[in-house]
Amino acid sequence: MVRLVIGSILGGLAQFVVGFIFWGTPLSRIAFAVAPDAQNAALQRALALNLTPTGTGTYHIPWPDTASGTTLHGQGPVALVHFNSAGFPLMDSGALIGGLILSIVATFLIGLALYWITPRVTDFATRAKIVVAVTIATVLYFTIGEPVFNSYLPWTYFIYLAVAEAVGLVVAGLIVARWFLPGPARSAADGVTA
């Protein structure tokens, strides 16, 4: 189990590095549509004026559960806005530390699942297939599911997010699967792999 913890830390660090490559470099511009500074300032003022009184939260704009909202939603434009009335530094060290801890915990859970099936799945190739299949299934449902179930959401951002998540989780899982799980059982009599 100590090896699994060490592997989780290393896999989590690798996942964290992959996340930095996708989100901390100019590569992240693929995911976002960018408005000019003047439009950003106008939108920020409009958000502050209209959403600050109701507070921090995720807003479906326009809200479709009224007759007027349904009409406005059909006319467009529509948005899903994650709003916070406070300002934050661009690179928040607290969020980075929390993200690293989350990466380590997620990697540990992948490793724990692989550890539980270790007696039946002893070869790296099969473990790798399991890591890839479970990662893709999870990312498809939870990330690609967003624009599937909410057809007004932009596909570009969610496809980019899904690729970033999948690559990070696969890298982390493969590190644990390759170097930090027990190998095939060996016969005590002859040292031959069982």
165-192 pLDDT per residue, tens: 999 999 999 999 999 998 765 434 434 4
pLDDT of residue 189: 43
pLDDT digits (tens, 9 = 90+) for 78-119: 999 999 999 888 888 889 999 999 999 999 999 999 999 999
Nearest residue to 166 via CA among 6, 18, 3: 18
User: pLDDT band at residue 194, thresholds of 50, 70 and 90?
Assistant: very low
Q: Does residue 141 surpass a pLDDT of 70?
A: yes
**Window from 4-8, 92-96, 133-137 with minimum mean pLDDT:** 92-96
pLDDT of residue 192: 43
**Window from 4-13, 15-24, 79-88, 110-119 with minimum mean pLDDT:** 79-88
Model-level pTM greater than 0.85?
Answer: yes
Q: Where are the beta strands (DSSP E) in 18-110?
A: 57-61, 79-83
Do 180 and 107 contact (CB within 8 A), yes or no?
A: no
CA-to-CA distance for 191 and 170, rounded, in angstroms? 32
- Give residues with Cβ within 8 angstroms of 193, minimum separation 6: 184, 185, 186, 187
CA-to-CA distance for 85 and 106, rounded, in angstroms? 30
